Amino acid sequence: MKLFTYVITALLLIGYTLNSYAVPKVIPKAPAIAAKSYILVDYNSNKIIAQNNADIPVAPASITKVMTAYAVFSEIEEGNIKLDDRVTVSKKAWKTPGSRMFIKVNSKVSVEDLIQGMIIQSGNDASVALAEHIAGSEEAFASLMTQHAQELGMNNSNFINSTGLPDPKHKTTAKDLAILARALIKRFPQYYKWYSTKEFTYNNIKQANRNKLLWRDKSVDGMKTGHTKDAGYCLLSSAKRNDMRLISVVLGTNSADARAQESQKLLNFGFRFYESHIVYPATKALKTVRIYKGDSELLPVGVAVDMAITIPKGQYKNLKPAIKINPQLVAPIQKGQHLGNVEIRLNNKVISSSALIALKTVNEGSLWQQAKDSALMMME
């Protein structure tokens, strides 16, 4: 039995090449993960593939900085700050303990350099400098972080600082961090690229990214490590193989090697045994339906957002879609109006459903058209 376990573990650790192996006949349970909590999520469908204690609030350590970055990116997007803004480093930022990018007190550092120092070097000093530049104080910025968390549906998260330094009230969960990672990748792809950077030099000091998976697995392109005595060793990671992206969160392992190894186990399991598909892209016509009493007789319908699914490998051919449209649709109909539903079934079980919407507006037709269609509707 032990030999069998070792073989399975070894296979899972080989890497993304497993993704090209033959379709598995059986989907096993997820591998045992030596962590306080963890979760594995498909980015496209948001389906949870594996989890344990994923809703239990824990200390996130420096993975906190993913939320710090999300708030900073939001400020850039809204035009409140710019990448080339010069930030004056306060004494508090300079003195912040823990990992740092080694900025000097009263020096002026660009927002872009501070972001890279925070993401790649995990600089606590950079995080505080950005927080103070945006909100005036780190405390005010932490409140902004919590507001963003609430808007994203991170219901078990509360942020007290921008760094992840220990505080009994500073908590989040594996599930909430997966929500955050998915939102950041989707909303800020132009900035997500920094999470794959392996090293960054500032003030003639070169530091390497602490995410060991960036060197071990070429499909991994982010995101963030964390470690404190309270939190243990943590890793939020994301990897893309072909058209499938997975997000893994592993919290509370006992070493830097362990957080990388356990994360790799989860990622390899997901890619080996599951596949992801966008079955219906957003705003693409799924069907054209008859409209009565309108200035057009035909109306394309589709889904408002990509309809994605995660299924066991090799099951795509067994999917059965079903489209249900409201009978006798009558103009006026507005673009985006809910007109029915589409379901995807696998083995007689609904695995995904979405509203069908009008993809364009159909206004009322002429009096003649309305009269003619009234007669047709009575005969049907």
One-letter amino acid identity for 61? A
User: Among 36, 47, 65, 293, which one carries the catalytic annotation?
Assistant: 65
DSSP 294: B
Instruction: Please identify which residue in the block is written with the tokens 């960054």.
Output: 200
The residues that bridge with 40 in the sheet, in sequence order, are 50, 248
Cis bond before residue 332 (omega within 30° of 0): yes
In the residue annotation, 65 being an active-site residue is answered as yes
In the residue annotation, 122 being an active-site residue is answered as yes
**C-alpha torsion 18→24→27→30, nearest 10:** -10
User: For the chain, how far is it from start to end, CA to CA, in angstroms?
Assistant: 67
On whether the CB atoms of residues 244 and 214 are closer than 8 A, the answer is: no
In the residue annotation, 37 being an active-site residue is answered as no
Q: How far apart are the C-alpha atoms of 278 and 50, rounded to whole Å?
A: 20
User: Among 37, 62, 352, 354, which one carries the catalytic annotation?
Assistant: 62
State both tokens at 125. 């000093």
Question: Long-range contacts made by residues 284-291, C-beta under 8 angstroms, separation at least 24?
Answer: 285/359, 286/323, 286/342, 286/356, 287/323, 287/325, 287/356, 289/325, 289/329, 289/339, 290/329, 291/329, 291/330, 291/331, 291/333, 291/362
* Catalytic positions, written as ranges: 62, 65, 122
